[in-house]
Amino acid sequence: MLRSARSTEDRPMAGKGRHFLNIPGPSPVPERVLRAMNRQIIDHRGPEFQTLGREVLEGCRTVFKTRQPVVIYPSSGTGAWESAIVNTLSPGDKVLMVETGHFATLWRQMAARWRLDVDFVPGDWRHGVDPAVIEARLVDDKAHAIKAVAVVHNETSTGVTSRVAEIRKAIDAANHPALLLVDTISSLGSVDYAHDEWGVDVTVSCSQKGLMLPPGLGFTAISEKALKASKSNGFMRSYWDWEEMLKPNAQGFFPYTPATNLLFGLKEAIDILLEEGLDQVFARHKRLAAATRAAVEAWGLEVLCKNPAEYSPVLTAVLMPPSHDADAFRKVALEKYDISLGTGLAKLAGKVFRIGHLGECNELMLMGALSGVEMGLAAAGVPHRRGGVAAALAALEQPEAANAPRKVA
pTM of the model: 0.93
Element (H, E) at 152: strand 146-152
Percent of the chain with pLDDT over 90: 93
- Domain borders along the chain are 20-28+277-403, 31-273
Q: Is the pLDDT of residue 77 over 60?
A: yes
Q: Is the pLDDT of residue 401 over 50?
A: no
- Residue 48: C-alpha distances to residues 43, 249, 254, 264 (Å): 8, 15, 14, 11
CATH code at 31-273: 3.40.640.10
Second-level CATH architecture of 20-28+277-403: Alpha-Beta Complex (3.90)
Q: Assign residue 258 a region: left if phi > 0, alpha if psi is -120 to 50, beta otherwise? A: beta
CA–CA dist 4, 8 (Å, integer): 9
pLDDT tens by residue, 19-76: 999 999 999 999 999 999 999 999 999 999 999 999 999 999 999 999 999 999 999 9
User: Using 50, 70 and 90 to split pLDDT, how confident is the model at 399?
Assistant: confident
User: Using 50, 70 and 90 to split pLDDT, how confident is the model at 286?
Assistant: very high
Q: Radius of gyration of the chain from Cα atoms? A: 22
Length, in residues, of the chain: 409
DSSP characters over 96-110: EEE--SHHHHHHHHH
Q: What is the mean pLDDT of the segment spanning 299-322?
A: 98
Per-residue pLDDT, 164: 98
DSSP tag of 219: E
Q: Is the pLDDT of residue 11 over 50?
A: no
Residue 163, annotated ligand binder?
no
Q: What is the mean pLDDT of the segment spanning 186-205?
A: 98
What's the whole-number average pLDDT of the chain? Answer: 94
Q: Is the pLDDT of residue 175 over 70?
A: yes
* Cβ contact 336:373 at 8 Å: no
Element (H, E) at 205: strand 202-206
